[in-house]
Amino acid sequence: MVLRGMGYQAAFSTAIFLFMLLGLGSCGFFETEQSIATDKAQRREVLQGLASTYWQGAKISVRSLKIGEAVESIDFAAIKKQQQSELQLGKHLSRIYDWEFLLREEEPDVKALSVSELVELAQEIYQMSDTIKSMDEDDYPTMMQVISNSRIALKKEPIELPEHWNNSMEHWAFAVVMESRFGFGSWKSYELSKMKIDDFKTTDLKVFSSVHKAIDELRSEWFYLAEQTLTQALDALEREKITLMPGSQGLFSKANTSENTVEQQFKFQMKALIHLLRGFARKQTKRVELEALALEDVQAAVNNFSLAGVDNELVWLAESYLYIKNEEPEKAIQALTKLEGSRYIGKKEKKIIQETVQKIKDRDPDGALNLLTDKIIMYKLGMSYAVSYFNEIEWLKILEKTEEGRAMLVRFKELEQEYQKAKKYLDIDELSRKSKALLNME
């Protein structure tokens, strides 16, 4: 035993020292675990909020349609009645979640709701929300499978679904289209939270989807969850043989000016992007030990960009960070000037960069770093590059390339507008006040 031969007092002091050392070492671990739990609790609150459950209800109302591959006809009246019961739908939500017109390719009977009807709709959303929280849309066939089956039942050609089509692929397809078409932030967060990395068959899909999820977590200020997601993506890059879809092979081959193989080029570029994102996530936690790791991440990003032979906005951003940390103001300002001139940088981001440069000139490196790691810049650049990767994945466009998919997107935009109209009555106090006022008018 280590303590043998020591005096009792010396042995006791050594034991106390070792205990304190172990305690200090584990303190960071427990703090991180607690912070992850806090992020998860905040995410759960968002995903169980009224806007999110309203969206989940819309999707479940499609996916729960009992239209199997062998169904030869559809009894829409019976389906509506069943869904009203199962999903606790009132008359307004039942109308909003009515998919018969869409599947039959007919014009829906749309009418504007009065104030009293909007109050009723708000009450229905509250009631349905409690039911939806105990349901999981992934217990049902995917939405595209249901639509394809409905086409068969209505004597049309089925939709040719991509190979290995599954829940995670569909969730990601919705999240990608929401970046430009429609949807509240909570809708995107919900879709991305439902993805399972192992559902994707190739390395590029696993990594791209993880990057998208992490960017959304950064956007939502769930920095510990983002760090966790990005670490898992790095693990996927390191632990398995790199496999790429044809679109990714073409993309990384075309941009390859080095002697790297396509797989190496993919690995270096994605490691660089992930390290940079993780570095910014760690910096935003404001934890001393994680900020030290953030510097290592940003340095790793620059190293991997160099191995890939890449020189772009993300490189300039990473270099700016390192130059500020290493107290090299002239080089930092030079890199930031290049970044400010990028076509990917908007007015809001340019202003942040200009303020960062001023902080450097004022000899305030901490203030400069806080501005530089602002989530607006990282989200803007990270998302711009991520979308360029997503554009090479053909099946992600399934919602926009099929007739029913396009109609569904239009309908979902209308769902968003319906919610916006009812939103002002979704506050409990406002709902109660308005209900009483309407009762007094009757």
> What is the per-residue pLDDT for 405?
83
CA distances from 338 to 275, 307, 312, 359, 399 (A): 21, 21, 9, 17, 38
**Whole-number Å distance between alpha carbons of 213 and 91:** 36
> What is the per-residue pLDDT for 4?
42
The residues, any chain, with a CB within 8 Å of residue 260's CB and separated by 6 or more, are 268, 307, 308, 309
Q: How many Cβ atoms sit within 10 Å of the Cβ of residue 385?
A: 17
> What is the per-residue pLDDT for 13?
52
pLDDT averaged per 10 residues in sequence order, the chain, 442 residues: 46 47 47 85 92 92 83 81 87 86 73 83 88 94 91 85 93 91 85 96 95 93 96 92 92 81 94 95 89 94 94 93 94 95 88 94 92 75 85 87 83 85 68 45 42
The residues, any chain, with a CB within 8 Å of residue 352's CB and separated by 6 or more, are 371, 372, 374, 376, 377
Residue 281: exposed, middle, or buried by beta-carbon count in 10 A (0-12, 13-18, 19+)? Answer: buried
Name which of 320, 284, 332, 313 is nearest 382 in CA terms. Answer: 313
**Whole-number Å distance between alpha carbons of 72 and 156:** 11
Whether the CB-CB separation of 236 and 207 falls below 8 Å is answered with: yes
**Whole-number Å distance between alpha carbons of 199 and 78:** 34
> What is the per-residue pLDDT for 437?
46
Q: Which residue has the tokens 């068969």?
A: 152
**Whole-number Å distance between alpha carbons of 129 and 60:** 12
**Whole-number Å distance between alpha carbons of 51 and 129:** 9
Segments of the chain assigned to CATH 1.25.40: 202-398
> What is the per-residue pLDDT for 43?
94
Name which of 441, 438, 442, 439 is nearest 115 in CA terms. Answer: 438
CA atoms within 13 A on the CB side of 65: 29
Query: Can you read off the two tokens belonging to residue 48?
Result: 């169980």
Q: State the architecture of 202-398 in CATH terms.
A: Alpha Horseshoe (1.25)
